[in-house]
């Protein structure tokens, strides 16, 4: 087997020594080429090259969810083809590693590498569905390029939090869960649309859902982790189905307190609920429109402001070693 290892040298929880150990372990079992990313989008370019090659069987992403997202978008630059495209393996190296953990991999790079080698020896893999977001035709965002996501996307509040976290990291702050909590509070205090939502959810064949103040799209469960605690925004979401949506129509102090408590106590059987909570399961096609430009994120990466995004849930999009 010939494999390409895409290494993010800035991965939050992986040291240079650990990377060397992992490269040695993987190289002992396959013909391995290891490349360290040098710029934003480099992992995507490497994934694209692997997809276009005739002799790469496996791409291993060593990094956080952002690195995985870039690799996936490179692999799928011409769309899914599970019979021809290289398989994907993920070694968690970021601060949260939602995709790897949702696959059931250990949240430790060395242990995850061992699990991947065991899976390769046993020839075990799974085919996962992915989400695709695109600019909506006929809107000012129609020229925005399509982009795949592995576990979540969001328009509005949660994307604003991620944008704030990225700003803090650019100023030298470490990506910690405490940093996220602080930015949640600041986003809440500054949120201009928390009392009257500006998002409309349109699903073909259904009545539009209006006045959403928050919208979270999930491709799997859990949605994220707070330390070792899984947080379930859409408990039914799965790599085996299309996309789930959680929408909240009110973000008053009382509502946020209630929903935050529900999220912190969420489980695979129970997520946020209430009069102003909207939960939809297994959607293949839908669009989010906003009356005002709102922050947009995919897989924890802030992508700027959007007024309209069209989503597609694609089943059986990629083969993953697990």
Element (H, E) at 147: strand 147-149
User: Is the pLDDT confidence value at 143 over 90?
Assistant: yes
DSSP 164-182: HHHHHHHTT----HHHHHH
Element (H, E) at 98: helix 98-102
Chain centroid, CA 104 distance in Å: 15
Nearest alpha carbon to residue 153 among 108, 218, 101: 218
Q: Which residue has the higher pLDDT, 114 or 15?
A: 114
**What does the pLDDT read at residue 212?**
96
User: Is the pLDDT confidence value at 108 over 80?
Assistant: yes
> How far is residue 59's CA from residue 5's CA, in Å, rounded to a whole number?
6
DSSP label at 227? T
ω before 222 within 30° of 0 (cis)? Answer: yes
> How far is residue 139's CA from residue 294's CA, in Å, rounded to a whole number?
14
**What does the pLDDT read at residue 250?**
86
**What does the pLDDT read at residue 173?**
84
Mean local confidence (pLDDT), 230-237: 97
**What does the pLDDT read at residue 215?**
97
Mean local confidence (pLDDT), 295-300: 96
Nearest alpha carbon to residue 177 among 59, 275, 94, 262: 94
**What does the pLDDT read at residue 41?**
96
> How far is residue 183's CA from residue 178's CA, in Å, rounded to a whole number?
9
Percent of the chain with pLDDT over 90: 80
Strand duo 199-202 + 285-298: pairing = antiparallel
Q: How confident is the model at residue 259 (pLDDT cuts 50, 70, 90)?
A: very high
Tell me the whole-structure pTM to 2 decimals: 0.94
Element (H, E) at 121: helix 109-122
**What does the pLDDT read at residue 320?**
98
Q: How confident is the model at residue 15 (pLDDT cuts 50, 70, 90)?
A: confident
- R_g over Cα of the chain: 19
């Amino acid at each position: 087997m010939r494999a390409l290892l895409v290494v993010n040298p800035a991965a939050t929880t992986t040291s240079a020594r650990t990377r060397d150990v992992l490269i040695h372990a993987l190289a002992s079992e396959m013909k391995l080429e290891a490349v360290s990313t040098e710029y934003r989008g480099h992992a995507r370019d490497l994934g694209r090259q692997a997809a276009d090659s005739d002799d790469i069987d496996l791409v291993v992403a060593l990094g956080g969810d952002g690195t995985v997202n870039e690799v996936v978008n490179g692999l799928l630059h011409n769309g899914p083809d599970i019979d021809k495209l290289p398989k994907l393996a993920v070694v968690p190296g970021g601060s949260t590693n939602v995709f790897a953990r949702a696959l059931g991999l250990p949240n430790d790079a060395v242990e995850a590498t061992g699990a991947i080698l065991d899976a390769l020896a046993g020839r075990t893999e799974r085919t996962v569905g992915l989400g695709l977001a695109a600019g909506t035709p006929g809107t000012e965002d129609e020229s925005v390029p399509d982009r795949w996501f592995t576990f979540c996307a969001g328009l509005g509040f949660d994307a604003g939090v991620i944008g704030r976290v990225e700003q803090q990291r650019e100023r030298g702050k470490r990506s910690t869960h405490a940093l996220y909590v602080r930015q949640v509070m600041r986003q809440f205090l500054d949120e201009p649309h928390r009392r009257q939502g500006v998002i409309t959810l349109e699903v073909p064949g259904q009545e539009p859902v209006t006045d959403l103040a928050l919208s979270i799209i999930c491709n799997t469960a859990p949605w994220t982790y707070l330390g070792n605690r899984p947080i379930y925004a859409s408990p039914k979401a799965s790599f085996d189905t299309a996309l789930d949506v959680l929408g909240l129509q009110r973000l008053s102090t009382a509502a946020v307190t209630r929903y935050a408590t529900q999220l912190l106590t969420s489980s695979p059987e129970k997520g946020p609920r209430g009069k102003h909570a909207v939960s939809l399961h297994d959607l293949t096609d839908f669009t989010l429109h906003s009356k005002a430009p709102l922050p947009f994120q995919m897989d924890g990466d802030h992508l700027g402001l959007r007024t309209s995004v069209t989503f597609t849930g694609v089943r059986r999009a990629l083969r993953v070693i697990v």
